[in-house]
Chain A
């Protein structure tokens, strides 16, 4: 497939929509099998594995989250959380078809609610995308929260 800037932008928008609409199995399929979803704990964090992060999830852990959200005894999801992403237009930082690597940078506001409590998070998502089986996939998603070092309440869905 030929990767255009518009295709990359549309893909990042679609990802947010699938989360907001709780279409989690479809969302999971957007990730490669070796994908990593990373949310650092510290500002400008470089280290991935040898320090604490908020999230550093492989596909197995992401699959666990998705299954858990619908589980009969997932008490923290009774009632379920809802979320909404507001994305600034994704910017394409690099397109390297030879390396099959495409980078985007997207500023966002994210709201997650459950019962009467609403939490607003803001930050930037960096997607590393690739082409697999003739479609775009996420190889890595890095989410940096602007207040990454703040005390948080539960964050149960996907930023």
Chain B
């Protein structure tokens, strides 16, 4: 018998359109948790968050409680944050150091930092019970697939779905560029992430990252006001850092068209192929010289010449290489998304770059950010509007070209919605690949 979920998913798209149920229906959201987010590679955290042995970081991947820990041999392990005994979350704070063992606070079962069971109190109570054959005896369950890519820790929870390299392909060039901007090729997480709760579907936020037709409209109130004030005050002389950061949001349609958009297989893509709103930042004194000394003039120029704007790592992560920030759009419910915005220090680079990174994060990504206020208003109006039965389809037709998705990589006019279509092609693929009767990977 045909699995009804397969048709449910297939019927949510027709050429240039997506059905609103992809955004508002809880049954579709539940299928996303079960299939999409388990078949795709997901970012967990960064190695610099757990610099010492037994350091841990607890988080979520989709609806799963996840624990990342540095083992005694310095390898990073990722496991489900659940005691194999009764299910208690072994770790409740987001970060800390386990000492020699994790110890469940309920019955004191303890686990080594690779998750294996170290001891159980009153162990003789399990004599002659075949305990050794139980799954509990194996300890905390590790996730199926882990990849440490240059200190960025990714996992894939299901066996279905491609391996790490096939999943990301050349899109890793954006991550490489962000890391290579450190003269020693290393990043460090700085501080806590901003956490911003949106009453809308997670995909709206992801789509907005490559939506280049909204800044000059939705952000007229914030970026436009900065522009007005700056011009009223003369508008000449060196721009304060805040002006430098916000003003490009008011760039023209032509600017964004010329920026370009690149798509890669499996739903990844980025804005800012040729230039971007990050291209014209002032130079940090001494930084270029440091980079030239580290990489040679040619490679340093190539690294700093890339000004990719937003790179989407499908399904729900975005990075800004020139700003060294990473955003996770964490799905909570069909109409609820938690956005985490993280920043990184370029190890050994001048502090002024980190100052700009931190400023960008709070001015653009914070729940107190006027730019954030502009965006949240649009997402939540859309989430409410989609309840309308009058029209049930969302349009993603802009600058459609025949043959999209037939090559592993393509570049387009910067105002295309090709990346949104790319995401939805991948969305269907990763939804169906683990369904009975779905398409094989």
B228 at interface (Cβ–Cβ under 8 A)?
yes
Complex Cα distance, B222 from A76, in Å, reads 11
Contacts of A55 in B (CB 8 A): 362, 366, 368
Contacts of B341 in A (CB 8 A): 52
B197 at interface (Cβ–Cβ under 8 A)?
yes
Interface residues in A38-83 by Cβ distance below 8 A to B read: 39, 41-42, 47, 49-56, 58, 60-61, 63-65, 67-68, 71, 73-77
Among B195, B221, B229, B355, residue most surrounded by chain A Cβ atoms (within 10 Å): B221
Is A51 a contact of B221 with CB atoms below 8 Å?
no
Complex Cα distance, B373 from A76, in Å, reads 6
Is B368 a contact of A39 with CB atoms below 8 Å?
yes
Residue tally, chain B, CB below 8 Å to A: 42
A154 at interface (Cβ–Cβ under 8 A)?
yes
Which of A8-16, A23-31, A144-152 lies at the interface? A144-152
Is A49 a contact of B358 with CB atoms below 8 Å?
yes
Is B226 a contact of A151 with CB atoms below 8 Å?
no
Is B368 a contact of A71 with CB atoms below 8 Å?
no
Chain A contact-residue range equals 20 to 34
Tell me the nearest residue of chain B to A55, going by C-beta: B368
Contacts of B372 in A (CB 8 A): 154
Known contacts A50-B355, A73-B220, A149-B195, A154 near B376 by CB under 8 Å:
yes
Contacts of B378 in A (CB 8 A): 75
> What's the minimum C-beta distance from A19 to chain B, rounded to whole angstroms?
14
Is B229 a contact of A64 with CB atoms below 8 Å?
yes
Q: A124-159: contact bitstring with B at CB < 8 Å (1 yes, 0 no)? A: 000000000000000000000000011111111000
Q: B27-61: contact bitstring with A at CB < 8 Å (1 yes, 0 no)? A: 00000000000000000000000000000000000
Is A52 a contact of B362 with CB atoms below 8 Å?
yes
Tell me the nearest residue of chain B to A66, going by C-beta: B225
Complex Cα distance, B240 from A39, in Å, reads 20
Q: B224-243: contact bitstring with A at CB < 8 Å (1 yes, 0 no)? A: 11101100000000001011
Complex Cα distance, B229 from A153, in Å, reads 27
> What's the minimum C-beta distance from B302 to chain A, rounded to whole angstroms?
28
Is A41 a contact of B374 with CB atoms below 8 Å?
no
Is A151 a contact of B370 with CB atoms below 8 Å?
no
- Looking at the complex, which one of B191, B193, B222 makes contact with A64 (CB distance below 8 Å)? B222
Known contacts A54-B368, A76-B221, A60 near B243 by CB under 8 Å:
yes
Count: A-B pairs, CB below 8 Å? 109
Is B195 a contact of A153 with CB atoms below 8 Å?
no
Interface residues in B204-232 by Cβ distance below 8 A to A read: 218, 220-222, 224-226, 228-229
Complex Cα distance, B236 from A147, in Å, reads 41
- Looking at the complex, which one of A50, A56, A60 makes contact with B240 (CB distance below 8 Å)? A60
Complex Cα distance, B370 from A149, in Å, reads 19
Question: Which A-B residue pairs are the 3 nearest by beta carbons?
Answer: A152-B367, A51-B191, A151-B195
**Contacts beyond the supplied A41-B194, A52-B193: 19 A-B pairs with Cβ under 8 Å:** A39-B368, A41-B362, A50-B190, A50-B354, A50-B358, A51-B343, A52-B191, A52-B343, A54-B194, A54-B366, A60-B243, A68-B225, A73-B224, A75-B218, A75-B377, A76-B221, A150-B195, A152-B196, A153-B196
Listed by A's residue number, 19 A-B pairs whose Cβ atoms lie within 8 Å are A41-B194, A41-B362, A52-B193, A52-B194, A52-B366, A54-B367, A67-B225, A67-B228, A68-B222, A71-B221, A75-B374, A76-B221, A76-B376, A77-B221, A149-B195, A151-B367, A152-B195, A153-B197, A153-B367
